[in-house]
A and B are shown apart, each in its own frame.
Chain A
Amino acid sequence: MITVKDLTKKYARTTAVDQISFSVEKGQIVGFLGPNGAGKTTTMRMLTCFLPPTSGTAMVAGIDVLEQPLEVKKRIGYLPEAPPLYQEMETNAYLKFVGNLKGLRGTELGQRVDYVIERCAIGDVRTKLLGKLSKGYRQRVGLAQAIIHNPDVLILDEPTAGLDPKQINETRDLIRSLAGDHTIILSTHILPEVEQTCQQVIIINRGKLVATDSVHNLQNRARGAESVLVEVANRYGVLDIASVQRRLEQIPATARVVPKQTRENLCTFEIETSAKDGFKRADIARAVVESGWDLNELRPAAVSLEEVFLQLTKAEGAETLASAKGAQ
């Protein structure tokens, strides 16, 4: 749905976006992740035809943003970082105005306005002035205007910035529910947001593409190999950690077993595998149970994206970080 190739944006002195390439499939939610000033907003503005790229191409639904901007704009719904609201307008009138701008007229416009008001749950503020709305409502009206013309692609610049936790959850639910009908790109510097909402992540730092992959793969990749956490207990008395460790090490494809967080009759082991395709988890379960211990928990040791992100973005900042540490 979106194809970006060698996209570059240069300002007088700085290069905001440097040869970024990625593509997004139809119906996906993609997280655009990066620290502040990484070039997320600039990239989004190029996709929405607000800024022309210095070089490279961006295609939305097969249409080039430079060649046919009007056609691209018809297919894109855009929520900038600050929702573009007219303070002195009422919600209803505002949505009608935006609908008009996007080419909707007559009964179709009325239907779409009613639909987005219901979808974004802003019926309560239908006749209120936009200037008087709370931050959460402003954001939702912003989303409503972005989807009013039922665009193929939705581009959301930090859609949850400045909201309280409850509003953040509501907004994420709303965004997730919009996927499928729309292809969504959302930018954020909040990592859990990507983990919770997105299927694919594009990480950029200082204008450069650092990684692009599915959330799942990225977590694995940072880990190097898959590992599992096993909690073993002995309900009859003291758990002999050493013998459990020995038993676990016998399981095929085990590289290392690290006991963690010990209590008298309870221990969690982190098992790393050397095999590419990971463990047969059933082997672990059987090993534990057959030896007469209780298996309380068996789960993949998920790395948070936070760690992935730090690992990936650290590479470039490593020198400055090292020198900063040296100074201390």
Chain B
Amino acid sequence: MRNVWTIYRKELNSYFVSPIAYILLLMFALVFGFFFWNALGMFVYYGIESQMRGQMYPMNVNEQVIRPLLSNISVVGLFFIPMITMRLFAEEKRNGTIELLATSPIRDAEVIVGKWLAAVTLYASMLLCTALNFSFLFRYGNPDWKPLAIGYLGLLLQAGALLAVGTFISSLTRNQIIAGAVTFGVCLLLWVLEWVSGYETAMWARVLAYMSVITHYESFGKGVLATKDAIYYVTLIFLGLFLTARSMESLRWRS
């Protein structure tokens, strides 16, 4: 456990000592800021329009602002996840520092979990930026906080799963660009697999759709804590980290 902490601190340091973390945070905040501003503008526009027509449409901040915005976050996050994970192992392999880790009295699993936790922390701090935007809604409106909290939990689980996949891909190569590009491709695929359910109902299509990360976010987005979806994400996290461990071990046998 202490070793996980050692690796975790070192990884977090290398994110936050270098400009990596700040640039990612800045860009993410900028993009999401625009989304937020846009969504709020729409909401206000519809509100005024419905008053002018004299018809009182039911207006709901949770349904009309928070929910779509949360799915926006997960889309934007998709672009940032490869940038977070691509360096995790690829950089160590290129610099030869992997030899230091592999010859120190720590387990591979401790290295992997430490690195993954650092990546999750960076993503969580990006989510924190978005929480800043939402706080304005609470200042001037009266939204329900529970669906928002569950939405955030879903986002964190989803990102954790994709970050685990990214960690695995980073351990396969010593080239960060390759790691980043492959991670992006795989994440995007895991994302759009769900589309087949739109026109096909056969078994294979249902399996593909089930594998999609977006399928399992729906319930979280609605503010429902569904155990089976949480289990899907946790399984994917374990799978990603397990594959990383296998990949680190095979590094020794091939080298």
Neighbouring A residues of B252 by C-beta, 8 Å: 50-52
A200 to B11, CA, bound (A): 41
Contact with A along B212-255 (1 / 0, CB 8 A): 00000000000000000000000000000000000000001101
Segment with Cβ contacts to B, from A78-86, A204-212, A217-225: A78-86
Q: Please, how many residues of chain B have a CB less than 8 angstroms from a CB on the other chain?
A: 24
A50 to B104, CA, bound (A): 9
Interface flag for B105 (CB, 8 Å): yes
How far is the CB of B10 from the nearest CB of chain A, in Å?
5
A207 to B136, CA, bound (A): 69
A82 to B97, CA, bound (A): 9
How far is the CB of B75 from the nearest CB of chain A, in Å?
31
Interface flag for B103 (CB, 8 Å): yes
A85 to B39, CA, bound (A): 47
Given contacts A84-B96, A101-B3, contact A73 B14 (CB under 8 A): no
Interface flag for A139 (CB, 8 Å): no
Q: Establish whether residues A74 and B105, one from each chain, have CB atoms under 8 Å apart when the complex forms.
A: yes
Q: Establish whether residues A97 and B99, one from each chain, have CB atoms under 8 Å apart when the complex forms.
A: no
Interface flag for B18 (CB, 8 Å): yes
How far is the CB of B255 from the nearest CB of chain A, in Å?
6
Interface flag for A118 (CB, 8 Å): no
A71 to B100, CA, bound (A): 16
Interface flag for A145 (CB, 8 Å): yes
How far is the CB of B23 from the nearest CB of chain A, in Å?
14
Within 8 A of A (CB), among B60-95: 95
Interface flag for B17 (CB, 8 Å): yes
Neighbouring A residues of B96 by C-beta, 8 Å: 80-82, 84
Within 8 A of A (CB), among B1-54: 2-3, 6, 10, 13-14, 17-18
Q: Establish whether residues A102 and B105, one from each chain, have CB atoms under 8 Å apart when the complex forms.
A: yes
Q: Establish whether residues B18 and A49, one from each chain, have CB atoms under 8 Å apart when the complex forms.
A: no
Determine the residue in chain B with the shortest Cβ distance to A81: B96
A97 to B111, CA, bound (A): 13
Interface flag for A98 (CB, 8 Å): yes
Given contacts A50-B252, A51-B252, contact A86 B102 (CB under 8 A): no
Interface flag for B106 (CB, 8 Å): yes
Interface flag for A87 (CB, 8 Å): yes
Neighbouring B residues of A78 by C-beta, 8 Å: 99-100, 103
Neighbouring B residues of A98 by C-beta, 8 Å: 100, 104
Within 8 A of A (CB), among B81-140: 95-107
Q: Establish whether residues B105 and A50, one from each chain, have CB atoms under 8 Å apart when the complex forms.
A: no
Neighbouring B residues of A86 by C-beta, 8 Å: 10, 14, 95, 97
Q: Establish whether residues B6 and A50, one from each chain, have CB atoms under 8 Å apart when the complex forms.
A: no
Within 8 A of B (CB), among A11-61: 45, 48-52
Interface flag for A100 (CB, 8 Å): yes
Q: Establish whether residues A101 and B106, one from each chain, have CB atoms under 8 Å apart when the complex forms.
A: yes
Neighbouring B residues of A85 by C-beta, 8 Å: 95, 97
Q: Establish whether residues A101 and B253, one from each chain, have CB atoms under 8 Å apart when the complex forms.
A: no
Interface flag for A62 (CB, 8 Å): no
Determine the residue in chain B with the shortest Cβ distance to A72: B105
Interface flag for A326 (CB, 8 Å): no
How far is the CB of A323 from the nearest CB of chain B, in Å?
33
Determine the residue in chain B with the shortest Cβ distance to A78: B103
Contact with B along A184-212 (1 / 0, CB 8 A): 00000000000000000000000000000
A49 to B255, CA, bound (A): 13
A48 to B102, CA, bound (A): 9
Q: Establish whether residues B14 and A101, one from each chain, have CB atoms under 8 Å apart when the complex forms.
A: no
A89 to B18, CA, bound (A): 10
Given contacts A73-B105, A86-B14, A88-B18, contact A101 B100 (CB under 8 A): yes
A28 to B182, CA, bound (A): 49
Interface flag for A244 (CB, 8 Å): no
Neighbouring B residues of A116 by C-beta, 8 Å: none
Q: Establish whether residues A97 and B6, one from each chain, have CB atoms under 8 Å apart when the complex forms.
A: yes
Interface flag for A322 (CB, 8 Å): no
Given contacts A84-B96, A85-B95, A86-B95, contact A73 B103 (CB under 8 A): yes
How far is the CB of B3 from the nearest CB of chain A, in Å?
7
How far is the CB of B138 from the nearest CB of chain A, in Å?
38
Neighbouring A residues of B10 by C-beta, 8 Å: 86, 89, 97
What are 10 A-B contacts with C-beta separation under 8 Å?
A50-B99, A51-B252, A74-B105, A84-B97, A84-B100, A86-B95, A100-B2, A101-B101, A101-B104, A103-B105
For the complex of A and B, 9 pairs with smallest distance between CB atoms = A84-B100, A101-B104, A73-B105, A100-B6, A84-B97, A48-B103, A74-B105, A82-B96, A80-B99
B contact residues vs A (CB 8 Å cutoff)? 2-3, 6, 10, 13-14, 17-18, 95-107, 252-253, 255
